[in-house]
Amino acid sequence: MSKNLIALLKVLISVGLAGILLYLVFRNVEWVTFWERAKSVDYTWVIISILLSIVAYIARAYRWNILLEPLGYSLKTSRTTIAVLIGYLANLALPRLGEITRCGVLKRNDNVSMPNALGSVVTERIIDVLTLFFLIIISLIVESDRLIQFMTGAYKDLNIPNYVWWIVAMVTLVGGILFIYFIKKQKQFKGKLSGLIRSFMEGVFSLKDIKRPLGFIVSTVVLWVVYFLMSYIIVFSLPETRHLGLGAGFMLLITGGIALSIPVQSGFGTYHGMIAGMLLLYAIDETTGIFLATLLHTSQIVAIAIFGSIALVISFLMRRKSASKETNWQK
């Protein structure tokens, strides 16, 4: 089976799954009420949320620069921001494609090693997961009753056989053993594979050698505070949700983070269903919950489409300018 066919199948499966999930979420929507909600939206808050996303993109790019510095790369934040934006744009086409794409952009524009870049992205994602866990703990304190109700309600109907948990445990154990083995034995590998593995592991462990730890911490805090604000301020755009407090904002952030981490096409279906389900705990009816989830999700997609497309054009012009300089130098 050719690589192109495999890639096409991945896209079709991802899009098909997203379509099924969207159908399941929207099949009982009261469309008359849904469109009434659209007429009552104060889009000023939506626009502010979209503009705030720029701060999040820059904070992520700045933090990535800090991880790349110990690997010998000193890049402007503007250049890594372009790579991050193009990566987000690529994620609209296929889940997790963005991580590879943004590393490819840095490779092409700034000659950053792909294994190094991918390793640093892995570290970045680990930090994000740990941050999400930390926020879940905060929510357990702030909104403990509602969070427990949400989690138990979401999984009470699942009947997962015991052997599934054994398989998950064994895969995790074997994966951990292999990971440790590669770390200890990486110097003994020879050939091209050895270089790739070492470069990747250098990227993964770049965190321990960062030169600006305070900048890394501050950029991480800024990133997640902006994520919180991006989702929370949109509740003020609807009369039915503008009474929701900070606790609900934390729940929106956490639920959205979990939904977007599921490998489905840009969170279509998973995001809408989980956000709407969570809002039921705040006495927000299903149709309004789905509408707010749609508003939140669409605003993020619009931001990525606009700023990602601009970054793609800028990247193309950068490569063209670089190629032109190289041609003139050769002459």
Q: Would you say 142 and 250 are in contact if contact means Cβ atoms under 8 Å apart?
A: yes
Q: Would you say 101 and 184 are in contact if contact means Cβ atoms under 8 Å apart?
A: no
Residue 242: partners with Cβ closer than 8 Å, 6 or more residues away: 235, 236
Q: Would you say 86 and 64 are in contact if contact means Cβ atoms under 8 Å apart?
A: no
Give the Å distances, CA to CA, from 293 to 55, 95, 121, 154: 22, 20, 28, 17
Q: How far is CA 185 from the centre of its chain?
A: 32
- Tokens 């929370």 belong to residue: 232
Q: Rounded mean pLDDT of 36-52?
A: 91
Q: Is residue 187 part of a domain?
A: yes
**What is the extent of the structural domain holding 175?**
43-323
Q: Would you say 102 and 86 are in contact if contact means Cβ atoms under 8 Å apart?
A: yes
Q: Would you say 113 and 107 are in contact if contact means Cβ atoms under 8 Å apart?
A: yes
- In angstroms, the CA 230 to CA 56 distance is 9
Terminal alpha carbon distance of the chain: 45
* pLDDT for the residue 183: 57
Q: Is residue 160 part of a domain?
A: yes
Give the Å distances, CA to CA, from 68 to 54, 131, 276: 21, 20, 39
Q: How far is CA 97 from the centre of its chain?
A: 11
* pLDDT for the residue 155: 47
Query: What are 97-144's pLDDT values in tens digits?
Result: 788 899 899 988 888 888 888 888 888 888 888 888 888 888 777 766
Q: Is residue 23 part of a domain?
A: no
- In angstroms, the CA 201 to CA 113 distance is 12
Q: Is residue 215 part of a domain?
A: yes
Return the percentage of the chain with pLDDT > 70, whole number.
73
* pLDDT for the residue 43: 92
According to the per-residue pLDDT averaged within each range, which of 102-116, 165-179, 186-200 is highest? Answer: 102-116
Query: What are 57-102's pLDDT values in tens digits?
Result: 999 999 999 999 888 888 899 999 999 999 999 888 776 778 889 9
Give the Å distances, CA to CA, from 163 to 157, 167, 219, 226: 18, 6, 42, 41
* pLDDT for the residue 281: 82
Q: Is residue 262 part of a domain?
A: yes
Query: What are 253-288's pLDDT values in tens digits?
Result: 988 888 887 777 777 888 888 898 888 888 888 888
- In angstroms, the CA 274 to CA 252 distance is 9
* pLDDT for the residue 157: 46
Helix residue ranges, H only, 143-161: 144-155
- DSSP letter at 160 equals -
Query: What are 306-318's pLDDT values in tens digits?
Result: 999 999 999 888 8
* pLDDT for the residue 98: 81
* pLDDT for the residue 322: 65
Q: What is the pTM of this model?
A: 0.78
- Tokens 């510095």 belong to residue: 69
- Tokens 């130098």 belong to residue: 329
Q: Is residue 298 part of a domain?
A: yes
- In angstroms, the CA 181 to CA 284 distance is 50
Q: How confident is the model at residue 324 (pLDDT cuts 50, 70, 90)?
A: low
Q: How many domains does the chain have?
A: 1
* pLDDT for the residue 180: 64
Q: Is residue 94 part of a domain?
A: yes
Interior CA angle at 172 toward 166 and 175, to 5°?
Answer: 135
Q: Is residue 90 part of a domain?
A: yes
3-state secondary structure (DSSP) of residue 167? helix
3-state secondary structure (DSSP) of residue 191? coil
Query: What are 211-248's pLDDT values in tens digits?
Result: 888 999 999 999 999 999 999 999 999 988 999 888 88
- In angstroms, the CA 299 to CA 293 distance is 10
